[in-house]
Amino acid sequence: MRILFIVDPLPGLKAYKDSSVAMMRALSARGHEISVALQGDLFIEGGAVLARTEPVQLLADADLHGQDWWRALGAPAVIALSDFGAVVMRKDPPFDMEYVYSTHLLDFAQAAGARVFNQGAAIRNHPEKLSITEFSNFTAPTLVTRDMARLRAFHAEHGDVVVKPLDGMGGMGIFRVARQDPNLGAILETLTDNGTRSIMAQRYIPEIVKGDKRILIIDGEPVPYALARIPLAGESRGNLAAGGRGVAQPLSPRDLEIAQAIGPVLASRGLLLVGLDVIGDYVTEINVTSPTCFVEITEQTGFDVAARFAQALEAAVQRQHGAA
Protein backbone atom coordinates (compact mmCIF):
# COMPACT_ATOMS: atom_id res chain seq x y z
CA MET A 1 0.00 0.00 0.00
CA ARG A 2 1.19 3.50 -0.82
CA ILE A 3 0.79 5.81 2.17
CA LEU A 4 1.12 9.59 2.09
CA PHE A 5 2.23 11.41 5.23
CA ILE A 6 1.45 15.12 5.41
CA VAL A 7 4.18 16.25 7.78
CA ASP A 8 6.59 19.03 8.59
CA PRO A 9 9.89 19.04 6.62
CA LEU A 10 11.79 15.81 7.28
CA PRO A 11 15.19 17.49 7.89
CA GLY A 12 13.68 19.33 10.84
CA LEU A 13 12.28 16.26 12.56
CA LYS A 14 14.13 14.74 15.53
CA ALA A 15 13.89 11.22 14.22
CA TYR A 16 15.09 9.53 17.41
CA LYS A 17 11.97 10.67 19.28
CA ASP A 18 9.46 11.77 16.64
CA SER A 19 6.19 9.84 16.58
CA SER A 20 5.56 10.50 12.89
CA VAL A 21 8.96 9.02 12.05
CA ALA A 22 8.17 6.01 14.23
CA MET A 23 4.90 5.54 12.32
CA MET A 24 6.62 5.75 8.94
CA ARG A 25 9.32 3.30 9.99
CA ALA A 26 6.76 0.83 11.35
CA LEU A 27 4.69 0.97 8.17
CA SER A 28 7.80 0.67 6.00
CA ALA A 29 8.87 -2.40 7.97
CA ARG A 30 5.50 -3.95 7.12
CA GLY A 31 6.17 -3.48 3.41
CA HIS A 32 4.27 -0.27 2.71
CA GLU A 33 5.57 2.47 0.42
CA ILE A 34 5.90 5.87 2.07
CA SER A 35 5.56 9.28 0.44
CA VAL A 36 5.61 12.67 2.13
CA ALA A 37 4.14 16.08 1.42
CA LEU A 38 4.03 19.39 3.23
CA GLN A 39 0.81 21.14 4.09
CA GLY A 40 1.63 23.73 1.45
CA ASP A 41 1.95 21.00 -1.17
CA LEU A 42 -1.81 20.35 -1.15
CA PHE A 43 -3.90 22.04 -3.82
CA ILE A 44 -7.11 21.76 -5.82
CA GLU A 45 -7.10 21.78 -9.60
CA GLY A 46 -9.80 20.66 -11.96
CA GLY A 47 -11.98 19.71 -9.00
CA ALA A 48 -9.43 17.20 -7.67
CA VAL A 49 -7.32 17.42 -4.50
CA LEU A 50 -3.71 16.87 -5.48
CA ALA A 51 -0.35 17.13 -3.77
CA ARG A 52 3.27 17.46 -4.73
CA THR A 53 4.55 14.28 -3.12
CA GLU A 54 7.97 12.75 -2.65
CA PRO A 55 8.51 9.00 -2.25
CA VAL A 56 11.02 8.20 0.47
CA GLN A 57 12.86 5.21 1.86
CA LEU A 58 13.21 4.78 5.61
CA LEU A 59 16.65 3.33 6.29
CA ALA A 60 16.26 0.46 8.72
CA ASP A 61 19.66 0.64 10.44
CA ALA A 62 20.11 4.41 10.36
CA ASP A 63 21.39 6.52 13.24
CA LEU A 64 18.21 8.37 14.16
CA HIS A 65 20.23 11.08 15.89
CA GLY A 66 21.64 12.09 12.51
CA GLN A 67 20.11 13.26 9.26
CA ASP A 68 20.67 10.15 7.15
CA TRP A 69 17.64 8.17 8.32
CA TRP A 70 15.76 8.59 5.02
CA ARG A 71 16.41 9.19 1.37
CA ALA A 72 14.34 10.29 -1.59
CA LEU A 73 13.29 7.64 -4.09
CA GLY A 74 13.04 9.48 -7.38
CA ALA A 75 11.68 12.87 -8.32
CA PRO A 76 8.65 14.49 -6.67
CA ALA A 77 5.36 13.90 -8.46
CA VAL A 78 1.89 15.43 -8.39
CA ILE A 79 -0.59 12.74 -7.34
CA ALA A 80 -4.25 12.81 -6.34
CA LEU A 81 -4.78 12.01 -2.67
CA SER A 82 -7.38 9.44 -3.69
CA ASP A 83 -4.65 7.47 -5.47
CA PHE A 84 -2.95 6.60 -2.18
CA GLY A 85 -3.99 3.66 -0.05
CA ALA A 86 -4.05 5.98 2.96
CA VAL A 87 -3.32 9.60 3.79
CA VAL A 88 -2.01 10.31 7.29
CA MET A 89 -2.34 13.92 8.49
CA ARG A 90 0.57 14.62 10.84
CA LYS A 91 1.19 18.33 10.37
CA ASP A 92 2.03 19.87 13.74
CA PRO A 93 0.15 22.95 14.98
CA PRO A 94 -0.30 25.91 14.95
CA PHE A 95 -3.94 25.34 14.13
CA ASP A 96 -4.28 28.49 12.06
CA MET A 97 -6.49 29.27 9.06
CA GLU A 98 -4.06 27.51 6.71
CA TYR A 99 -4.51 24.39 8.80
CA VAL A 100 -8.30 24.81 8.66
CA TYR A 101 -8.16 25.12 4.87
CA SER A 102 -6.08 21.95 4.75
CA THR A 103 -8.74 20.06 6.69
CA HIS A 104 -11.29 21.18 4.10
CA LEU A 105 -9.05 19.90 1.31
CA LEU A 106 -8.84 16.59 3.14
CA ASP A 107 -12.65 16.52 3.29
CA PHE A 108 -12.87 17.09 -0.45
CA ALA A 109 -10.27 14.38 -1.07
CA GLN A 110 -12.18 11.96 1.14
CA ALA A 111 -15.38 12.65 -0.79
CA ALA A 112 -13.45 11.64 -3.92
CA GLY A 113 -12.38 8.33 -2.37
CA ALA A 114 -9.27 9.16 -0.34
CA ARG A 115 -8.84 7.36 2.98
CA VAL A 116 -7.71 10.03 5.44
CA PHE A 117 -6.52 9.60 9.05
CA ASN A 118 -7.34 11.58 11.11
CA GLN A 119 -10.21 12.81 9.00
CA GLY A 120 -10.28 16.51 8.18
CA ALA A 121 -13.74 17.24 9.57
CA ALA A 122 -12.95 15.27 12.73
CA ILE A 123 -9.79 17.29 13.37
CA ARG A 124 -11.58 20.55 12.66
CA ASN A 125 -14.59 19.70 14.85
CA HIS A 126 -12.53 18.70 17.89
CA PRO A 127 -10.47 21.71 19.00
CA GLU A 128 -7.97 20.22 21.38
CA LYS A 129 -8.79 22.22 24.49
CA LEU A 130 -12.48 22.89 23.93
CA SER A 131 -13.26 19.22 23.20
CA ILE A 132 -12.96 18.27 26.86
CA THR A 133 -16.14 20.20 27.62
CA GLU A 134 -18.18 17.45 25.93
CA PHE A 135 -16.97 15.08 28.66
CA SER A 136 -17.49 17.34 31.69
CA ASN A 137 -17.92 14.35 34.04
CA PHE A 138 -14.21 13.68 33.51
CA THR A 139 -12.95 17.28 33.83
CA ALA A 140 -12.08 19.60 36.67
CA PRO A 141 -14.22 22.78 36.94
CA THR A 142 -13.65 24.63 33.67
CA LEU A 143 -14.66 27.99 32.22
CA VAL A 144 -14.26 29.18 28.62
CA THR A 145 -14.88 32.88 28.10
CA ARG A 146 -13.35 36.21 27.23
CA ASP A 147 -15.43 38.02 29.87
CA MET A 148 -13.02 39.44 32.45
CA ALA A 149 -15.65 39.57 35.20
CA ARG A 150 -16.49 35.87 34.76
CA LEU A 151 -12.81 34.95 34.80
CA ARG A 152 -12.25 36.93 37.99
CA ALA A 153 -15.30 35.34 39.60
CA PHE A 154 -14.06 31.85 38.64
CA HIS A 155 -10.68 32.67 40.18
CA ALA A 156 -12.32 34.00 43.34
CA GLU A 157 -14.42 30.82 43.66
CA HIS A 158 -11.60 28.31 43.15
CA GLY A 159 -8.64 30.31 44.45
CA ASP A 160 -5.95 28.45 42.54
CA VAL A 161 -6.53 28.23 38.79
CA VAL A 162 -4.75 27.62 35.51
CA VAL A 163 -5.49 29.90 32.56
CA LYS A 164 -4.42 29.22 28.99
CA PRO A 165 -5.08 30.22 25.39
CA LEU A 166 -7.30 27.94 23.34
CA ASP A 167 -4.76 27.67 20.52
CA GLY A 168 -1.54 27.13 22.45
CA MET A 169 0.78 24.13 22.20
CA GLY A 170 3.72 22.73 24.13
CA GLY A 171 2.74 24.54 27.32
CA MET A 172 2.96 27.99 25.74
CA GLY A 173 0.89 30.71 27.39
CA ILE A 174 -0.18 28.61 30.39
CA PHE A 175 -0.26 30.42 33.75
CA ARG A 176 -1.06 29.21 37.24
CA VAL A 177 -2.70 31.99 39.23
CA ALA A 178 -2.91 31.50 43.01
CA ARG A 179 -5.46 33.27 45.20
CA GLN A 180 -3.40 36.32 46.10
CA ASP A 181 -1.47 36.61 42.85
CA PRO A 182 -1.06 40.34 42.13
CA ASN A 183 -0.58 39.59 38.42
CA LEU A 184 -4.11 38.24 37.88
CA GLY A 185 -5.32 41.31 36.01
CA ALA A 186 -2.27 41.57 33.79
CA ILE A 187 -2.37 37.86 32.94
CA LEU A 188 -6.06 37.92 32.02
CA GLU A 189 -5.68 41.11 30.00
CA THR A 190 -2.76 39.61 28.09
CA LEU A 191 -4.32 36.22 27.38
CA THR A 192 -7.71 37.65 26.38
CA ASP A 193 -6.15 40.56 24.49
CA ASN A 194 -8.15 42.92 26.68
CA GLY A 195 -11.34 40.92 26.49
CA THR A 196 -11.36 40.20 22.75
CA ARG A 197 -10.15 36.57 22.77
CA SER A 198 -11.68 33.60 24.61
CA ILE A 199 -9.46 31.58 26.93
CA MET A 200 -9.82 28.58 29.22
CA ALA A 201 -9.65 28.64 33.00
CA GLN A 202 -9.51 25.44 35.06
CA ARG A 203 -9.25 24.73 38.74
CA TYR A 204 -5.63 23.86 39.51
CA ILE A 205 -5.08 20.11 39.87
CA PRO A 206 -2.35 19.52 42.47
CA GLU A 207 -1.64 16.02 41.13
CA ILE A 208 0.33 17.71 38.34
CA VAL A 209 3.41 17.09 40.51
CA LYS A 210 2.95 13.38 39.68
CA GLY A 211 2.78 14.14 35.97
CA ASP A 212 0.59 15.23 33.10
CA LYS A 213 -0.23 11.82 31.63
CA ARG A 214 -0.45 11.31 27.87
CA ILE A 215 -2.81 8.44 27.13
CA LEU A 216 -2.77 7.30 23.51
CA ILE A 217 -5.96 5.88 22.00
CA ILE A 218 -5.63 4.00 18.71
CA ASP A 219 -8.82 3.05 16.86
CA GLY A 220 -10.82 3.52 20.05
CA GLU A 221 -8.57 1.34 22.23
CA PRO A 222 -6.10 2.77 24.77
CA VAL A 223 -2.44 1.89 24.70
CA PRO A 224 -1.88 0.12 28.06
CA TYR A 225 0.81 2.60 29.16
CA ALA A 226 0.72 6.36 29.62
CA LEU A 227 3.65 8.74 29.58
CA ALA A 228 3.57 10.84 32.75
CA ARG A 229 5.28 14.12 31.92
CA ILE A 230 6.60 15.29 35.27
CA PRO A 231 7.27 19.03 35.65
CA LEU A 232 10.56 20.51 36.66
CA ALA A 233 10.77 21.61 40.28
CA GLY A 234 8.80 24.82 40.73
CA GLU A 235 7.08 24.41 37.36
CA SER A 236 3.35 23.73 36.86
CA ARG A 237 3.62 22.56 33.24
CA GLY A 238 4.50 18.96 32.51
CA ASN A 239 4.90 19.36 28.73
CA LEU A 240 8.11 17.83 27.41
CA ALA A 241 8.62 21.03 25.40
CA ALA A 242 8.58 22.93 28.71
CA GLY A 243 11.23 20.70 30.27
CA GLY A 244 9.03 17.96 31.68
CA ARG A 245 10.48 14.49 32.24
CA GLY A 246 8.63 11.59 30.65
CA VAL A 247 8.04 8.46 32.73
CA ALA A 248 6.01 5.60 31.25
CA GLN A 249 3.59 3.83 33.57
CA PRO A 250 0.63 1.44 33.32
CA LEU A 251 -2.79 3.02 33.04
CA SER A 252 -4.57 3.37 36.36
CA PRO A 253 -8.19 2.21 36.78
CA ARG A 254 -9.30 5.85 36.44
CA ASP A 255 -7.15 6.30 33.31
CA LEU A 256 -8.84 3.26 31.79
CA GLU A 257 -12.28 4.51 32.76
CA ILE A 258 -11.64 7.82 31.00
CA ALA A 259 -10.04 6.26 27.92
CA GLN A 260 -12.70 3.59 27.49
CA ALA A 261 -15.47 6.16 27.76
CA ILE A 262 -13.99 8.74 25.39
CA GLY A 263 -12.02 6.58 22.94
CA PRO A 264 -14.85 4.78 21.13
CA VAL A 265 -16.84 8.00 20.79
CA LEU A 266 -13.98 9.78 19.06
CA ALA A 267 -13.04 6.77 16.93
CA SER A 268 -16.60 6.65 15.58
CA ARG A 269 -16.15 10.24 14.39
CA GLY A 270 -13.09 9.57 12.25
CA LEU A 271 -10.28 9.97 14.79
CA LEU A 272 -8.00 6.95 14.45
CA LEU A 273 -5.40 8.39 16.81
CA VAL A 274 -6.11 10.50 19.89
CA GLY A 275 -3.90 11.67 22.74
CA LEU A 276 -5.66 12.35 26.04
CA ASP A 277 -3.91 14.56 28.57
CA VAL A 278 -4.88 13.50 32.08
CA ILE A 279 -3.82 15.06 35.37
CA GLY A 280 -4.85 13.11 38.44
CA ASP A 281 -8.44 12.02 37.79
CA TYR A 282 -9.22 14.63 35.14
CA VAL A 283 -8.80 14.94 31.38
CA THR A 284 -7.40 18.37 30.51
CA GLU A 285 -6.94 18.18 26.73
CA ILE A 286 -7.82 15.95 23.77
CA ASN A 287 -5.07 15.98 21.14
CA VAL A 288 -6.18 15.11 17.61
CA THR A 289 -3.71 16.86 15.30
CA SER A 290 -0.42 15.04 15.84
CA PRO A 291 -0.36 13.18 19.18
CA THR A 292 3.13 12.20 20.30
CA CYS A 293 4.95 10.09 22.93
CA PHE A 294 5.13 6.89 20.82
CA VAL A 295 8.88 6.52 21.17
CA GLU A 296 9.14 7.26 24.89
CA ILE A 297 6.46 4.70 25.78
CA THR A 298 7.98 2.07 23.48
CA GLU A 299 11.53 2.53 24.78
CA GLN A 300 10.51 2.37 28.44
CA THR A 301 7.96 -0.45 28.30
CA GLY A 302 8.67 -2.53 25.19
CA PHE A 303 5.10 -1.99 23.93
CA ASP A 304 5.56 -1.05 20.27
CA VAL A 305 3.12 1.82 19.87
CA ALA A 306 4.06 2.51 16.25
CA ALA A 307 3.49 -1.13 15.28
CA ARG A 308 0.09 -1.00 16.98
CA PHE A 309 -0.74 2.14 14.97
CA ALA A 310 0.39 0.47 11.73
CA GLN A 311 -1.90 -2.49 12.39
CA ALA A 312 -4.81 -0.18 13.19
CA LEU A 313 -4.25 1.84 10.02
CA GLU A 314 -4.25 -1.30 7.90
CA ALA A 315 -7.47 -2.47 9.55
CA ALA A 316 -9.14 0.93 9.10
CA VAL A 317 -8.22 0.99 5.41
CA GLN A 318 -9.65 -2.48 4.97
CA ARG A 319 -12.88 -1.44 6.68
CA GLN A 320 -13.26 1.60 4.44
CA HIS A 321 -12.37 -0.44 1.36
CA GLY A 322 -14.97 -3.05 2.27
CA ALA A 323 -17.61 -0.36 2.84
CA ALA A 324 -16.90 1.30 -0.53
239 an active-site residue?
A: no
Q: How big is the chain, counted in residues?
A: 324
Using DSSP bridges, classify how beta strands 161-165 and 175-177 pair: parallel, antiparallel or unpaired: antiparallel
Mark whether 213 is an active-site residue: no
Q: Which residue out of 17, 90, 124, 129 is catalytically annotated?
A: 129
Whether 176 is a known active-site residue: answer: no
Q: What gap in Å lies between CA 120 and CA 109, rounded to an integer?
A: 9
- How many whole angstroms separate alpha carbon 156 and alpha carbon 135? 24
Question: How many Å apart are CA 131 and CA 118, to the nearest integer?
Answer: 15
Q: What is the CA radius of gyration of the chain?
A: 20
User: Omega into 287 within 30° of 0, i.e. cis?
Assistant: no
- In terms of phi and psi (left: phi > 0; alpha: psi -120 to 50; beta: otherwise), the region of 64 is alpha
Among the options 54, 107, 285, 296, which is catalytic?
285
* Active-site choice (25, 91, 203, 287): 287
Residue 129: active-site member: yes
Please identify which of the residues 17, 214, 219, 308 carries the catalytic annotation. Answer: 214
Catalytic residue among 90, 91, 124, 237: 237
Q: Which residues contact 299 (CB under 8 A, 6 or more apart)?
A: none
- b/e map of 268-301 (b: 16 or more CB within 10 Å)? eebbbbbbbbbbbebbbbbbbbbbbbbbbbbeeb
Task: Establish whether 229 is a catalytic residue.
Answer: yes
Residues designated as active site: 129, 164, 214, 229, 237, 277, 285, 287
